[in-house]
Amino acid sequence: MLEKKEEPFYKKIWFWIIAIVIICGVASYGDSKKINITDTKNSAKTETKKDDTRKVTYEKFCKIKIGSTYEEVKSILGEYKESKESEINGMKVVIYSWYNDDNSNMEVIVKNNKVIGKAQAGLSMGKADVNLIKYAKITTGMDYSKVEEILGDGKLMSISKTNGSTKSIYLWANPNGTNMNVTFENGKVTAKNRLGLN
């Protein structure tokens, strides 16, 4: 069992950062209309050109590094489509969003003009080959390379770094939509989840 005796996960700042990003990402991916939550001085244009399809890609998502400035992010992705301010455990952050015509998207969390987290939804296609047997082989404490030997290369869904701790979630999705994800903290497996595997 992947259990860890420590303070409840919902009291950790990384939980709230990833939760906000994933909730926002999934909500926007499933919604056909976008609404600006917070007006900013430099609001972005919400119009999307027909030839702008898939401008935001998984490859670009991977290029965004923790610790980058917003200007560095902008040089890769262009101006954001939405931004909203949020407060997590007393820490003020700004969440910037970019999305495609098909509503696949990515979000970047910035604190003091430095990236502390990012997440994506729908940018990568399901090409994995995972099942319950492979799922059962994943155990707490494994590093990514060991997990990769069992499952193949996963797709990064989110990553955040706060208080010196790095938290990431990787997804393995089969073509039929069944999938599993593995959570890593400082490079070691701490949790796993599955959907529809057999």
Of 162, 119, 101, 154, the closest CA to residue 19 belongs to 119
Can you tell me the distance from the alpha carbon of 117 to that of 114, in angstroms, rounded to the nearest whole number? Answer: 9
Sign of the C-alpha dihedral, residues 85, 87, 4, 163?
Answer: positive
Cβ neighbourhood burial of 185 (10 Å; 0-12, 13-18, 19+): middle
pLDDT digit string, tens, across residues 134-144 = 999 999 999 99
Choose among 103, 111, 84, 79: nearest CA to 95.
84
Which tokens belong to 16? 């709230």
- Give residue 54's pLDDT band: very low, low, confident or very high (50, 70, 90): confident
Q: Who wins on pLDDT, 1 or 196?
A: 196
Domain ranges of the chain: 1-118, 124-198
| Separation between Cα atoms, residue 65 and residue 87, nearest integer Å | 22
What is the CATH architecture assignment of 1-118?
A: 2-Layer Sandwich (3.30)
Bigger pLDDT: 11 or 131?
A: 131
Identical fold, 1-118 and 124-198: yes
pLDDT tens readout for residues 57-75: 999 999 999 999 999 999 9
Just give the CATH number of 124-198. 3.30.1450.10
Q: So what's the pLDDT on residue 38?
A: 34
Cα–Cα distance, 59 to 155 (Å, whole number): 11
**Per residue in 20-36, pLDDT tens?**
555 444 444 444 333 33
Predicted TM-score (pTM) of the model is: 0.74
Q: Are 86 and 20 in contact (CB under 8 A)?
A: yes
Rg of the chain (C-alpha set): 17
- Quote the mean pLDDT of the chain: 82
Average pLDDT over residues 32-54: 40
Angstrom distance (rounded) from CA 106 to CA 149: 27
Per-residue confidence at 173, pLDDT binned at 50, 70, 90? very high
pLDDT in tens, 79-113: 999 999 998 778 899 999 999 999 999 999 999 99
